Amino acid sequence: MGYGSLNGVSMAPSMQDLAADARSLGALKAGADKATPETIRETAKQFESLFMRELIKSMREATMKSGMLDNPGSDLGTDLLDQQFSVAMSGQPGGLSDLISQQLARQMGVEMPGNGANSDNTPVAVKAPDSLTSKTGADKLTASDAALTPVKTKKAPTATQAEFVAKHSETANKIEKATGIPASFMLGQAGHETGWGRHQIRNKDGSNSFNLFGIKAGASWTGKVAEITTTEYVNGVAQKKVAKFRAYASFEDSFKDYARLISDSPRYSKAKEQTKSVTAYASGLQKAGYATDPEYAAKLSRAINTTLQLRRAQVQV
């Protein structure tokens, strides 16, 4: 079958075949057990292709036919053309497949590269987004940042992480001046707790609780509460539980409450004394019971080191 162009849509054959084809369906099934970004993206494209095919089919059925040229042969040709249309129109940037990919990635716990990243997927450590190069008070290293040497992480920081750090740096800097808790420590922990802003705690009505640090609402809390299902570790085993978390009026209130908790609670006094070391601070929080995840200290250390790399990149650009 020859392929041309119709209404600006390229009909050239591509690597993406429709799942209705037995061969491409078999290839998709073969990779289904591998939770990789590539598999998720391809699956999302197939979903969008099938959706577009049904949409085109419904549009044709709603169109009055002349009857003169209608026959099984023309119907087959039209169906094949529609199939190619659905393939050509799927997988476009900002389309339905992007939304499906994000949803699947969240459900499967897979980090998709390039979420909000530069179109050329350049690591942030090499090419910083515009949000990091703005000449504001947020792009200057604090005393704690300058004193700490970040441990290079295995993966280069992503644009999503960079945007999160840039968004909250000014507030974190202000809280550090008032409490002495390093801004990068707070930013790293907030990034870890929220998936760098992608998984924030929501109120019942869907509004943002502004809780960046996963602080629960205990008996002493008199403010608003957001109730969600969360993962807790009991004897090292992950379990889903419904828990109540503090809700705030702003992100700044969340930073202030976190700093107050770390500074005023005897429970975290030893961790507060370890702010000259990333690993010591993270270990201190885990030992004090900040989280039930047995790997919390290691994960938090990586997040803080990522933040330190990003904040150093801000002043080097």
Pair 171, 87 in one domain = no
**Cα separation, 130 vs 119, whole angstroms:** 13
- How many structural domains are present in the chain? 2
Residue 30: per-residue pLDDT: 61
* Domain annotation covers residue 118: no
Percent of the chain with pLDDT over 70: 68
Residue 199: per-residue pLDDT: 94
Question: Among 41, 73, 108, where does a domain finish?
Answer: 108
Residue 312: per-residue pLDDT: 83
CB 124 within 8 A of CB 162: yes
- Ranges of residues in the chain with a pLDDT under 50 are 1-16, 19, 114-139, 317
* Domain annotation covers residue 263: yes
Domain range enclosing 35: 5-108
Q: How far is CA 118 from CA 124, 128, 129, 163, 298, in A?
A: 9, 9, 7, 12, 28
Indicate the pTM of the whole model: 0.58
Residue 65: per-residue pLDDT: 63
**Residue numbers annotated as active site:** 232, 257
Residue 25: per-residue pLDDT: 56
